[in-house]
Amino acid sequence: MGIPVWKWKKAVAVGLCAVVFAGCGKRGGVGGNPKEANGSSAHGGPYEEEITIDVFDDLANFQGEQAGWFAKIVQDKFHMKLNIIAPNIAGGRDTLYQTRTAAGNLGDLIITGTDGGRLKDLVSAGLLLDMTPYLEGCDMLNKNQAAIAQVAKLAGKEGVWAVPSEISNQPATEPCDATEPTNAPSLRWDIYGQVGYPKMETLEDLLMVLSDMQHAAGKSESGKAVYAISLFRDWDSNIMQNASGFCALYGYEAQGFVMAKGDGSDMQSVIDTDGIYVRALQFLFDANQQGLVDPESLEQDLDALAVKYQDGAVLYSIWPWLGAGEYNTYKHTSEGKGFATAVIGDMKCLTYGSMPNGKCSSSIMVGSQTQDPQRLVDFIDWLYSPEGIRASCSSSASFCGPQGLTWEMDGAGKPKLTDFGVRALVRQEEGLTVPEEWGTGTWKDGVSALNYKAVGLADVDESNGVCYNYQRWEDYHKQTETKLSKKWSAQHGNALTALEYLKGNDMLIVNPGTDYAAPEYETDIQTIMEQCRDSIIASSWKMVFARNQEEFDALLKDMQDTVNGLGYQRVFEADLKNIEEYFAAKMDGSGK
């Protein structure tokens, strides 16, 4: 999950909504009907001229032209090809963004954050299309006016500039997860069983368990060394991101340089000696001292780590979805092997509520230089439709795929996976080829490379009450029952899912979904923040791999002295003010 977004007063939202959408019923203005002016026919296609659009996508983990069954759907509906430009793959994330914005063309379709002043910068630079004249007939976008109006506040200029992701029709207090909370300790359950399922009362107890598991594990499936913990650096932002995963086991997440508990009950500085972040660094240091941390952690990225999970070379997963997503194949789980959620007695795992007004830190926009703006606005509208939502399967969105291909309704009016759906979504068969009428290539290669969630993972199709997320279906639970799931369920009061068990045992903190967007720092504070951030991240990694406790303590003090000398306290106070206002807004109920 990303950083939560500001709760604004409803009266302001309604007022802006009326202004922004006042022209939706009148098409065209100067130049006439936008569809006619751009050569596109009626809403939803067909479109006579084939186009290829550049998609600048912060979320994508693939770069190049979208292929396979999703490409065919887009081609059939919009006569359009998607060329994905992915900073995650290209490297130099900020550099690529700055280079393309400086050239005056970030992309035809843009998926990026709108917080931290980014939307305002893009609008000021003339890089985004105001979608207002193109919204007639866009039923899904017009339905989500309130969420779009909230994002518009960040632009500094009237208009419809972006549509937030994960707009939900569920309450803000409803966890947006499917079967596992966003954060929870996840272990190779079969090897945990080999060492006797020892109880853990605190985070530090986990170390002894991981040590025993590593000794019991032997070699990976390819004969390589197995480590309890393996880390990666790709996602470091203000702090060492992997360390924050252990903070989340106690309900904390980093918001700037504040470690804030999800219920607002505690707020700490990330550099506090006795704080949760330094505790997480100490935990990782202790783990490394015991030989439990993969020595390649300093050099590898997430892709390299994923391969190790697939090989059975890592025993702990910082997030449940990571280890299970790579290792829990149908073959492994049928053999009783795989990752499952463990329990630490004093944990309060942080998870996130649904977001009625969406997630501003990840939004979709149209570039101002695109040659057919109406077609792109239509495409965005389709992504928010039931058909588009289902088609947008990805590594991060367990949407059910196209009806008729992966699922169907049974005689009782309940969703049921087809034989192909079982093979694609349950067994996850490698090389599974889609039927000819759905396109070419494999199911996996055809999955949407946009990696974009238009709606929340708990959302339902209001026309039939079916959750888009197949992992919440009764049929899915029947289809996925294995030796591993049966054993785990029996050990946890016959709960079907970890989410159900932890929620029932008061081991979750649900951070209600909000429409918060981090405000822009003043220029001098932004400069200080960047300098402090670099020092904190570099020092954190050094502390984890310090030679001994004395060096760990010295590195901690040096980090504290360095950032305090840079003006850290000014940034912390700004972050603290923002997060306090955020929690105050949540508590007054002004944002759903």
DSSP 8-state class, residue 424: I
The string of pLDDT tens digits covering residues 94-144 is 889 999 999 999 999 999 999 889 999 999 999 999 999 999 999 999 999
pLDDT at 27 > cutoff 50: no
pLDDT of residue 394: 82
**Given pLDDT bands bounded at 50, 70 and 90, which one contains residue 42?**
very low
CB 277 within 8 A of CB 315: no
Q: How many CA atoms lie within 13 A of 54 on its CB side?
A: 13
> Burial level of 260, CB count in 10 A (0-12/13-18/19+)?
buried
Beta strands in 347-486 (DSSP E): 349-352, 359-366, 407-409, 415-417, 460-461, 466-467
User: Rounded to 5 degrees, what are φ and ψ at 480?
Assistant: -100, 5
**Given pLDDT bands bounded at 50, 70 and 90, which one contains residue 360?**
confident
Residues 6+ apart with CB under 8 A from 473: 400, 414, 415, 416, 417, 467
DSSP for 22-68 reads: TTTTS--STTS-HHHHTT--STT---SS-EEEEEEETT-S--EE--H
DSSP 8-state class, residue 116: T
User: Which of the two residues, 309 and 89, has the higher pLDDT score?
Assistant: 309
Average pLDDT over residues 305-316: 98
**pTM (2 d.p.):** 0.74
Tokens of residue 563, six digits: 């950032």
**Given pLDDT bands bounded at 50, 70 and 90, which one contains residue 518?**
low
Spatial distance between the Cα atoms of 256 and 420, rounded to a whole number of angstroms: 45
**Given pLDDT bands bounded at 50, 70 and 90, which one contains residue 372?**
very high
pLDDT of residue 176: 85
pLDDT of residue 9: 26
Tokens of residue 72, six digits: 């065919």
Spatial distance between the Cα atoms of 70 and 66, rounded to a whole number of angstroms: 8
pLDDT of residue 582: 79
CB 149 within 8 A of CB 13: yes
User: Which of the two residues, 516 and 160, has the higher pLDDT score?
Assistant: 160
Tokens of residue 357, six digits: 């007004």
Residues 6+ apart with CB under 8 A from 154: 114, 115, 119, 120, 360, 517
Mean pLDDT computed over every residue of the chain = 89
DSSP for 241-253 reads: HHHHHHHGGGTEE
The string of pLDDT tens digits covering residues 385-396 is 999 999 998 877
User: Which of the two residues, 3 and 43, has the higher pLDDT score?
Assistant: 43
**Given pLDDT bands bounded at 50, 70 and 90, which one contains residue 23?**
very low
**Given pLDDT bands bounded at 50, 70 and 90, which one contains residue 424?**
very high
pLDDT of residue 505: 96
pLDDT of residue 520: 80
Tokens of residue 234, six digits: 């790709």
**Given pLDDT bands bounded at 50, 70 and 90, which one contains residue 59?**
very high
pLDDT at 17 > cutoff 50: no
The string of pLDDT tens digits covering residues 148-203 is 999 999 999 999 999 999 999 998 888 888 889 999 999 999 999 999 999 999 99
pLDDT of residue 189: 98
The string of pLDDT tens digits covering residues 311-321 is 999 999 999 99
Spatial distance between the Cα atoms of 238 and 258, rounded to a whole number of angstroms: 10
pLDDT of residue 31: 30
**Given pLDDT bands bounded at 50, 70 and 90, which one contains residue 26?**
very low
Average pLDDT over residues 51-77: 96
CA 63 vs CA 55, 59, 444, 498: distances in Å? 10, 11, 15, 34
CB 152 within 8 A of CB 161: yes
Please give the distance of CA 398 from its chain centroid, rounded to a whole number.
Answer: 12
Average pLDDT over residues 254-260: 95
pLDDT of residue 576: 94
